[in-house]
Structure 1
Amino acid sequence: MSSTTTNKAGTASAQQSNAKPGLRKPVFVKVSDLKPGTSGHTLVVKVINATTVLQKGRSVSQHLRQSRISECLIGDETGTILFTARNEQVDLMKPDSTVIIRNAKIDMFKGSMRLAVDKWGRIEVTEPAKFVVKDNNNLSLVEYELVSVVEE
């Protein structure tokens, strides 16, 4: 009887190793926790405003492809940061809406931080948040300088 139990347990663990890895619970971070050169951030933020910085259409083999980029000021109760929304993301980033941003990364643009979501991330509109955005702590206004360290 014990050999049957071991056999079933062995079969179960073999099935688990073939299965997709289990989804991890997201770890939500605050805007003030964001640092240059980091990625994999999940956060809940309010969209304060959105400004279109690029909108152009180009013909690719008789299909018109729109290329749109908006800079959106987003924030939570710890601070704000500029988010670069591309193409379909622009439609989700409406002022006064609350969004969950998953797997976001920090890009550097002219020495300041921008939050962005590439094809591995996701943006979803959610219920309006109850927090008040702390708008006097804009992380995109902090200028960073790349310093190269030379060892002797």
Structure 2
Amino acid sequence: EELESKERQLKEQVKELESKEKQLDDLVKEFESKERDSQDRVMDLRPGTDRYTLTVKVLSSELVKTIYSDSDELVSCTAECLVGDETGTIIFTARNEQVDLMKPGATVILDNAKIDMFKGRMRLVVDRRGDIEVAKPANFEVREDNNFSLDRYFGYYMVQSLLIFSLKIAVVDAKIYISGHF
């Protein structure tokens, strides 16, 4: 009888622990959801801006530049990695030890990331003021049909010059049109 009583107590304790474990799992999911909502998304990125925190999946990684010393020691390497979230993708430029972290299939948190421009296109980078952390696999699907690195951006002055040029053409056309009717 005493054994049965202890067995009942243990079963109750197990049920109580399972209940607390479920509550803890729910709290973790809620926290992760809120944390994810407070982070930036790929679609939020703009040319010349910084201080982004993003959780992204690495879709591909390709070494584009490797520099060796005279003694065949690796001095520097650069990789272009396609990363993304549920809003789109962008090319991330990984340098040196960052290259090892950016493996296809990995989920990473990019802290204090910024946007650099390369030939008029956005590139996401994390410099010495930022950090890259390998995270547990994310539970979102990457939107691969929306690559923000394919968009071409023109500098402010170029756009301004194009607008002035367009206005001058419009004025000339208007004068020609008006003079043709007199």
Give the structure-1-normalised TM-score. 0.76
Q: Of 81, 93, 105, which aligns to 1:84?
A: 93
Q: Of 25, 39, 42, which aligns to 1:31?
A: 42
Q: What RMSD in Å do the two structures reach over aligned CA positions?
A: 2.0
Runs of 4+ with deviation above 6 angstroms: none
How far 1:63 moved relative to its partner?
A: 9.8
Tell me the residue number matched to 1:139.
148
Structure 1: gaps (5+ residues): 1-24
Tell me the residue number matched to 1:106.
115
Tell me the residue number matched to 1:47.
58
User: Is the 2:66–2:74 contact (alpha carbons within 8 Å) kept by the matching residues of 1?
Assistant: no
SS at match of 2:114: strand
Give the structure-2-normalised TM-score. 0.64
**Residue type at the aligned position of 2:109:** I
Q: Distance in 2 between matches of 1:78 and 1:71?
A: 20
- RCO greater where, 1 or 2, for CA within 8 Å and sep 6 or more? 1
SS at match of 1:91: helix
After superposition, the C-alpha distances for 1:100-121 in whole angstroms (9 at most, x for unaligned) are 0000000000010000010000
Q: Of 49, 66, 81, which aligns to 1:72?
A: 81
After superposition, the C-alpha distances for 1:107-149 in whole angstroms (9 at most, x for unaligned) are 0000100000100000010100000000000000000111314
Structure 2: gaps (5+ residues): 1-34, 162-182
Q: Distance in 1 between matches of 2:106 and 2:63?
A: 17
Which has the higher Rg, Structure 1 or Structure 2?
2
**Residue type at the aligned position of 2:108:** V
Query: Percent identity of the aligned residues?
Result: 53
How far 1:57 moved relative to its partner?
A: 1.1
Tell me the residue number matched to 1:116.
125
- 1:127 maps onto 2:157 in alignment: no
